[in-house]
Amino acid sequence: MSLCINCGVELDEEFTVCPLCGKNPGDSGTEEHAVDNYPSAIIHLHKKENRKHLWELSGIIAFSGIAVCTIVDLIISKRPGWSLFTDVLISGAWITLTIFLFLYKRAFALTSLLLIMILTVLFLAGLFTGGTAWFLPVGLPVTLATFIASASVVAIYKVASLKGLNIIALALIIVAGFCVILEMVLDIFLRGNVDLRWSLIEAISILPVALVLFHYHYRLKRGNRLDSFFHI
């Protein structure tokens, strides 16, 4: 047994190339190459390769599903029908995975592309299932409200100096506001007027819980962090 001087892994004598770092076990190379072959750099490279392999595999599965649904629909109905809906959903799921795999460190690009993708999927799904009359009055505002609510929670978490139960309390208040907006949108679409009922009950129920969390965070625990509070 021998050791690779680049990464330190044990090698059988028949190995001429290290299976971990891909270098000649007896060639230390330059200092720059040594840095490139440092275990952290190798792990980072492996993660990048794993993401690429996952993307390729998911693409094969997704497009295989699209092909199967389309062929079956053509055989049964002699024309594209229900397969258009399933094809849109499968494509949307694969595009979502692609966005997360390659843009997970770029928050703005990730959020923007996800918003565009979801709105496109909703529009096409409505188009292939009878019409898009609901898209502008319901689909668009509800999707925007969802993204704004989620972005608000993330932004509050990033800018808050004390990240504890106050974050959960603020998230609950944002959820309550989202529910009110959701009921307003649905009331206008279904009845033509706003008559708030269940969302007000939900908001009134959430408010005391949020106040208790605020009090516990700022008065009793003096701003303990979430990880220390939940012992993680």
**For residue range 16-65, what is the model confidence (pLDDT) as tens digits?**
667 666 666 565 544 444 444 445 455 555 677 788 888 999 999 999 99
- How far apart, in Å, are the Cα atoms of 57 and each of 16, 40, 220? 30, 26, 51
137 plus 232 within the same structural domain: yes
Going by C-alpha positions, the residue among 103, 95, 100, 101 that lies closest to residue 66 is 95
52 plus 122 within the same structural domain: yes
Residues 158-192 pLDDT 10s: 888 777 888 899 999 999 999 999 999 999 999 89
Residue 146 has pLDDT above 80, yes or no: yes
- 95 found inside a domain: yes
Q: What is the pTM of this model?
A: 0.66
Is residue 139 within 8 Å of 122, Cβ to Cβ? yes
138 plus 198 within the same structural domain: yes
- 43 found inside a domain: no
Q: List the beta bridge partners of residue 10.
A: 3
pLDDT at 58: 92
Please tell me the total count of domains within the chain: 3
What range defines the domain where residue 137 resides? 133-232
Residue 26 to residue 5: CA distance in whole angstroms = 6
Domain boundary among 130, 157, 177: 130
Tokens of 25: 């076990």
224 plus 137 within the same structural domain: yes
